[in-house]
Amino acid sequence: GAVVSQHPSRVICKSGTSVKIECRSLDFQATTMFWYRQFPKQSLMLMATSNEGSKATYEQGVEKDKFLINHASLTLSTLTVTSAHPEDSSFYICSARGPGLVTNEQFFGPGTRLTVL
């Protein structure tokens, strides 16, 4: 149980285009989803926290107009990287937690590797 999927697993795009990444909780309702960014050989940096049906809360230094997050349902959150540039190339990982889970543990998706040319 508590499986989180991400799509796509890899994406390559041209500079200036927008890319949408989906995060789904497959067998539980995710009231809260988190988006992380990971640079090579570094730890995960929290970008934003989203609760179903409300606006996301962004961490300091993360541009909310650049990284659009939508959490429209209890099983789906999307991250859209708008007007992507090479410096946005990174590994993006989502996680989710929901009601009814025993602990406040987060369950992680497999990640999406974004390469902007």
Partner 1 sequence: GDSVTQMEGPVTLSEEAFLTINCTYTATGYPSLFWYVQYPGEGLQLLLKATKADDKGSNKGFEATYRKETTSFHLEKGSVQVSDSAVYFCALIPNNNNDMRFGAGTRLTVKP
Minimum CB distance to partner 1, residue 91 (Å):
9
Query: CA dist 39 to 31, 32, 43, 63, 87, Å?
Result: 27, 23, 7, 17, 10
Q: Which is nearer to partner 1, 44 or 68 (CB)?
A: 44
* Region binding partner 1 by CB under 8 A among candidate stretches 12-20, 69-77, 80-88, 98-106: 98-106
Minimum CB distance to partner 1, residue 34 (Å):
7
Contact residues for partner 1, defined by CB under 8 A: 6, 32, 34, 41-44, 46, 49, 93, 95, 97, 103-111, 113
